[in-house]
Structure 1
């Protein structure tokens, strides 16, 4: 089941995310955020954008959300996408369903451009593979740029890539971006 996040989900989401912080270079964050920090992140994101969890047999196995791409008015129609799946629940199609649900709601908000910022190794290792780029390509994203050795984690340098997917029309008189909470009702 896919549903909108609730603040009481924070500990389960943090459990999923902490694996990636502590064991991978998928996130360039070094320290696991506190429960309060993570809750504040959820509150900030959900002021404007959708944030969904995937629940299976009463357990959250993944989450995905959109957030501000750049904090300037001209970028309002663009968002940065994020998804994290429980380490034992990957490669089962649940992530694709989460992203599809997220895209559907973003279209209702009049969002046109989706961006994914992805850690990318020059050589795959135990902390980072190229799987995320392949996943996003499978979902219709295209590669738009690479920053060389801009992330340092586990005593190694990693690249970062941007991928893009266009989900709306770029009209001369763009419709305003709507707040998710308002269209959700």
Structure 2
């Protein structure tokens, strides 16, 4: 398995992976899958901001992706990012999630990000929470009943991973 920066030609696979979760589950609150043009815009914005957008590739096929985006657009949040990670269903349990997330965190740290946040839907499936906790995230809050999808009312769990002393980093996104 190779973890690498996403390229525009990977985005069809990214679109398919994410669309699966949008249409069949509650891991995301999106109700309509973004199209490839949307993914191209996201890819360009993240590249311009110096934020990682990674894919896991196995035998020439993209089996998952992870990205970091600005947490908020206000300047005071410039050293904080929110991560997002999704695997093709058939790739679950094979180490791709851990490889993507640990690489993403390292790339964020190199780019001056000191805090990475994750917003996880509490769907009853503990896999995402376990992955994030294994990679150093700690629970920092819960938002009750904030989502409604597929006939369910859902909570989100807020997780945070501190990557370093915020005063040690001069390079931050948007700075």
For normalisation by structure 2, the TM-score amounts to 0.93
CA distance in 1, matches of 2:169, 2:111: 12
Gap runs ≥5 in structure 1 = 180-185
Contact 2:56/2:62, CA 8 A, preserved across alignment = yes
RMSD (CA atoms): 1.5
Moved over 2 A (4+): none
| Aligned mate of 2:140, from 139, 144, 161 | 144
Aligned match of 2:94 = 92
1:175 maps to 2:170: yes
CA distance in 2, matches of 1:56, 1:167: 28
CA distance in 1, matches of 2:64, 2:126: 20
For normalisation by structure 1, the TM-score amounts to 0.88
> Who wins on radius of gyration, i.e. which is larger?
1
Alignment of 1:1-185 (within 5 A): 1-48=2-49, 49-121=51-123, 124=124, 129-171=125-167, 174-177=169-172
CA distance in 2, matches of 1:97, 1:70: 26
Cα deviation, residue 178, structure 1: 5.6
Q: Using a 3 Å threshold, how does the CA distance of structure 1 residues 178 and 73 change in structure 2: closer, same or farther?
A: closer
CA distance in 1, matches of 2:116, 2:60: 30
